[in-house]
Each structure stands twice: as structure tokens, then as C-alpha cells.
Amino acid sequence: MPPLTPDAPPDAPPRAPTFVSRAGAGTDPVAGPAAELAAGLQAQPAAIAPKYFYDPLGSALFTAITELPEYYPTRTEAAILQACGAEIAGVLRAALPPGFDLVDLGAGDGAKAARLFGPLAPGRYIAVDISEAYLRQALDALQRRFPALPMVGVGLDFAARLALPEGLPAGPALVFYPGSSIGNFAPPQALRLLREARALARGGALLIGADLVKPPAVLEAAYDDALGVTAAFNRNLLSHVNRLLGSDFELADWKHRALFNAAESRIEMHLQAQRALTVRWPGGERRFGAGERIHTESSYKWQPAAFEALLRQAGWRQVQCFSDPLAWFGVFLAQG
């Protein structure tokens, strides 16, 4: 990518990001996260959706994961955007009107989108994330760096439905969904989300990262690093669940597991009970045998042609795939 927009001059007038809270909008509209969590814990096998990783500590731990030597997706995606940035920017400049909205799905710390501000010159940055407190902090910091760019934060759970408040975006937009987060969705749900992203783009474009199939040893190391940061990220989920559900998980009872399921083409993360135990919460409980697991994340790994086909099935056109020399990661560019 060409150089970034220069940081704020010292005398730039202050601007505050706007914030819209719609967190919980994607969960059961009647019962909310507690009911969703209780149902998952009572399912056979037990499961907790990966969106519950992201309390403020979970978001910070994810940012730490992106720095780990084993976690190739972030640096590989960044290298692809660096190497192919001029070509991507050329296509997007032709496809989008001046002053378009840049919609960042699962924005996290917004660092990846910030690298697009200079080359693409969006008219507004709309950052969407379930981890509201973390997003507010991240946007405040970004706004200080880029005071001239209007920014809107949307605290939203888009797992069940991607629908932004009225007027967001205002016209043809770039939907940016990096980090291979689309891999957390099984193919039918990924298709649904890509269709909703297309409706959101309003004739604009999509720039999305998808992780590709590669040797299982590389995949498993990326999700089970030597330092134990991914294990901490996985176990921290239980602290978050304790707060949301009022449950009594003891983190030390649970061991992090990551394995590649070749039949499903996905990495799975689990938490495995280290002894027989019972977890209780108001109105419910679940007994776990020693060795029994809670499924906490699936991360689907795609063949490039299959992901391109999924994009086309969702209605996206002029799909292009940019990859790295090892073909470990794909950045896909598509038009609405």
C-alpha cells in the first residue's frame, strides 16, 4: 500500500467519533445472551459461540495473538495487501464514488482499516464490532490520528443478521472484512453473511480475507502457540460467560485444545474438562465428565476456487483473489 495519511497535525481541531449501540441485536431477541449460552452449554456436545471470546480482555488477547510467530494469518494478509495494494486501490477507485463509506466488519483495533485510509481516501469510516468497550477505545485513538475523517462506531452482534442502523452506509460502500473472521461461520451461514454484506455495500465492493487450506501442523500451531496466548484467549471465554450467565466455571479446570478436522476443513478449538465437574448458573446446570469438551470455535479453511464460488453464489461479481507465494491466505476483492 502507498504511505498512510499523515498523522494529525498538533493544532488539528478535535473531532469525536459517533457511537451507536446495537449489541445483542443478533442474539435471541427475547432472551438475549444468557439464554443462548445456557442452550449451548446444555447441547450435546456443549458449545459456546466464538463471538463470546470478545470481552475487553479477549479483544486485547486477540491483538496479542496477531503478534505471535505461529499466527501467520495477520502478517500474511498484511503482506498481500502491501504487495497488491496498488492494484486493489486502482480497482476500488474505479468502482466506488468519491467520499464512499468504508464499513469495517469485526473491526477490532481498526489497525487494518487505518492502512487503507491513505490509499483509498474514504469519506467516512464505519467500524462494527460486538466488543463495544474495546471498539470505543480503539475509535477514540484512531480519531486522534485521523481527525479529518468522520468515524462512526456500531456496537453490533451480526452473527444472526447483518443490519446497520438507517443511513449506514449512505451509498455505495466498501465492506472490509479482514482477518479470516468469515471462517468462524459454517458455509451456509457464511453465504448468508456474504449476501447481507452485498446488500450493505449498495452496489459498492467487498475486500475480504479468507484463510486457505494448508498443512495441519501449520494450522494447529497457529491455534496452539508455545507461549500459551491462544490458550489464555480460549479460557478467558469462561470468565466472560461467568459474567453474562452468572455461571461458576473455574478456569483452572479447563484445558485448551486445538485440532484440524480434515473432513470439515476446519480448525476446532475446544475446552476440555480436567476432571468430572458440574457447572451451575441461575436456573440451570451441566455435568461434565473428565475429558469432556466444550466446542468454542471453528475456523473454516478454504480452497481459493471454493471461496470464489461462494462469493459468486452470494451475488458478488468480478471476483479477484490475491494471495502470497505459499498460497496460505487469500484476499478477495469483489464488486456488488
Residue 125, strand partner residues: 102, 151
Calpha distance 331→260 (Å, rounded): 22
User: By CB under 6 A, is residue 169 in contact with ligand SAM?
Assistant: no
The verdict on 307 binding ligand SAM (CB under 6 A) reads no
In the bound complex, what is the minimum distance in angstroms from residue 74's beta carbon to ligand SAM?
Answer: 6
Instruction: Assign 124 to helix, strand or coil.
Output: strand
Nearer to ligand SAM, 182 or 334 (CB): 182
Q: Which three cell numbers mark 225?
A: 502457540
Pick the stretch among 51-59, 118-126, 194-202, 281-289 that binds ligand SAM (CB under 6 A): 51-59
Question: Cβ closer to ligand SAM: 88 or 279?
Answer: 88
Stretch binding ligand SAM (CB under 6 A), from 114-122, 150-158, 258-266, 312-320: 150-158
Q: Which range, of 58-66, 187-195, 218-226, 323-331, touches ligand SAM by CB under 6 A?
A: 58-66
Three-class SS state of 315: coil
d(CA 315, CA 292): 41
CA angle at 57 for the pair 291 and 227, rounded to the nearest 5°: 60
Instruction: Indicate the residue among 113 and 334 with the shorter CB distance to ligand SAM.
Output: 113
- Closer Cβ to ligand SAM, 73 or 286, answer by number: 73
Q: Name the grid cell of 257.
A: 485444545
Binding of ligand SAM by 197 (CB under 6 A): no
Give the strand pairing for 284-288 and 329-335.
unpaired
Q: What track of x and - describes contact with ligand SAM for positions 73 through 112 (by CB under 6 A)? A: -x-------------------------------xxx---x
The angle at the Cα of 295, spanning 234 to 332, to the nearest 5 degrees, equals: 80
How far apart are alpha carbons 7 and 129 in whole angstroms?
A: 24
Contacts with ligand SAM, residue ranges (CB under 6 A): 26, 51, 54, 59, 62, 66, 74, 106-108, 112, 129-131, 156-159, 178-179, 181
